[in-house]
Chains A and B, each alone.
Chain A
Amino acid sequence: MTMQQEKEQIPVFSSWRHWYVLVIVVLIGYLLFFTWFTKYFA
Chain B
Amino acid sequence: MSQLDWIVLIVTLTAIISFGLVKSRTTKSLEGYFLSNRSMPWYLVLLSIMGTQASAITFLSAPGQAYTDGMRFVQYYFGLPLAMVVLCITFVPRFNQLKVFTAYAFLEQRFGKPTRLFTSFLFLLSRGLSTGISIYAPSIIIASLLGWDIFWTNLVMGGLLIVYTVNGGAKAVAYTQKIQLFIIFAGMLMAGCMIVHLLPEGIGFNEALKVTGATGKLNVITTGFTPKGFDFKDKYNLISGTIGGFFLALSYFGTDQSQVGRYLTAKNNTESKMGLLMNGLIKVPMQFCILLIGALLFTFYSFQKAPIYFDLASKQKALQTSYQSQLQEKEKQFVTVQQQYQRYVQRFASEELHTEMYKDSIGQANTQLQTLRTEYKQLLQKALHQSDANDTNYIFLRFVVDFLPKGLVGLLIAIIFMAAWGSIAAALNSLASCTMIDFHMHFRKAPSLPSNTTMEQSAKDYRLSKWYTFAWGIFCIITAEFATGMGSLIEAVNILGSLFYGVILGIFLVGFYMKAIQGRAILIAAIIGEIIVIGTFVADKLSYIGIGFLWLNVVGTLSVVLLSFAVQLVLNTAKKVTA
**Could you list which residues of chain A lie within 8 angstroms of chain B, going by C-beta atoms?**
4, 8-11, 16, 19-20, 22-24, 26-27, 30-31, 34-35, 37-38, 40-42
Contact = CB atoms under 8 A, between A and B. Distances in A.
A41 B452 CA distance: 62
B81 interface: yes
Contact of B74 (A11, A27, A34): A34
B210 A26 contact: no
B81 A42 contact: no
Given A16-B88, A23-B280, A41 B210 contact: yes
Interface stretch (B8-16, B211-219, B311-319, B339-347): B211-219
Nearest to B276: A23
Secondary structure at the A interface, as helix, strand, loop or mixed, is helix
A38 B223 CA distance: 12
Contacts of A11: 270, 274
Contact of B85 (A20, A30, A34, A42): A20
Contact of A41 (B82, B85, B212, B284): B212
Contacts of A24: 81-82, 85
B281 interface: yes
B221 interface: yes
A27 B245 CA distance: 14
Contact of A23 (B84, B209, B213): B84
A34 B269 contact: no
A26 B219 contact: no
B88 A42 contact: no
A4 B97 contact: yes
Contact of B220 (A10, A26, A27, A34): A34
B89 interface: yes
A27 B82 contact: yes
Contacts of B274: 11
Contact of A4 (B84, B93, B218): B93
B120 to A, nearest CB: 27
B281 A31 contact: no
A24 to B, nearest CB: 7
Interface string B190-228: 000000000000000000011011001011110000000
Contacts of B432: none
Given A4-B269, A24-B82, A38 B89 contact: no
Interface residues of B, number: 31
Interface in B58-89: 74, 78, 81-82, 84-85, 88-89
B285 interface: yes
B268 interface: yes
Contact of B218 (A22, A30, A31, A37): A37
Interface string B353-370: 000000000000000000
Contact of A38 (B97, B218, B270): B218
B277 interface: yes
20 contacts: A4-B97, A9-B270, A10-B270, A11-B270, A19-B273, A19-B277, A20-B277, A23-B280, A24-B82, A27-B280, A27-B284, A30-B285, A31-B238, A34-B288, A38-B218, A38-B220, A41-B209, A41-B218, A42-B213, A42-B216
A8 B272 CA distance: 12
Contacts of B82: 24, 27
Nearest to B96: A4
Contacts of B216: 42
A26 B269 contact: no
Contacts of B273: 16, 19
A4 B84 CA distance: 19
Given A30-B285, A38-B220, A8 B270 contact: yes
